Amino acid sequence: MFYITSSDNVKIAVYNFDCGGAHTVFLIHGWPLSHKMYEYQIERLIACGYRVVTLDLRGFGNSDAPGCDYSFDRMAKDVYEIISALCLKDIMLVGFSMGGAIALRYMNLYRGYEVRQLILLAAAAPSWTQRPGYPYGFTRQYVDELIERVCTDRPKVAYEFSHDQLFASPQSKAAKDWFGDIALSASGIGTLKAAISLRDEDGRRDLAAVRVPTVIIHGAKDIVVSNDLVRIQHRGIRGSKLYTLENSGHGIIYDELDKFNRIFIDVIDGAY
């Protein structure tokens, strides 16, 4: 791990698994997790000959937790600054949940700079919250209540996310506890401010900005990101391909681990 200092003077933790792979996969985690959620993808990608770069988003994992600016624009800029600092070329950009929304914002703001292909994993996009003319996702009241619970009992929010909301297939208590620990490793301010961004950000314009081959992978039993949102992504991103894991929930990177990894690696291999 090392740090890259962002243009607004925030230290972002970066992880560069470079064993001489010719191609790079860049992973963006979701709320309220960290790069650790990709443990069982990172090792597979390295074994398949890829360089893997990932980060802890500001406020999460080992990154600094500033008091403000957790907008998708700012976090997409953090991604851009890492890609630029490491001189990454022709990358596969992968985003899970909120990380998928940030990846889409990156594609819009930076015109897909150095991205060869995009993979969206249970992406909380284009808008996680309902708004006028957009009756999809959660109600603002539901997200407001979630934000209030983050302010008053964040450990319970992390527990409910990891034990009740993440998985649709049976998982061990130890595995659920592990994801709960990752969620609790986030700062309180980062968890809160990123939840506010999830409530307020509208990324509908981001979909049409994608100009690279895109793959969407989603769990049919996901209760965090609805099937409606995935259909909107699929329609809005020209030429995108959709893979549905019928027995997975939101935590598709672990819920059906072997099946997900086979699809994931096949998609990445097919891009190069």
Q: What are the catalytic residues?
A: 97, 222, 250
Report yes or no: 144 and 129 within 8 Å, Cβ to Cβ.
Answer: no
Report yes or no: 51 and 23 within 8 Å, Cβ to Cβ.
Answer: yes
Q: Is the peptide bond before 126 cis (omega within 30 degrees of 0)?
A: yes
CA–CA separation, 163 and 41 (whole Å): 21
Q: Which tokens in the block code for residue 115?
A: 């991205």
CA–CA separation, 100 and 121 (whole Å): 7
Q: Which tokens in the block code for residue 18?
A: 């470079």
Closest CA relative to residue 22, chosen from 60, 4, 48: 48
Closest CA relative to residue 30, chosen from 248, 261, 209, 253: 253
Report yes or no: 253 and 41 within 8 Å, Cβ to Cβ.
Answer: yes
Torsion angles phi and psi, residue 191, rounded to 5 = -60, -45
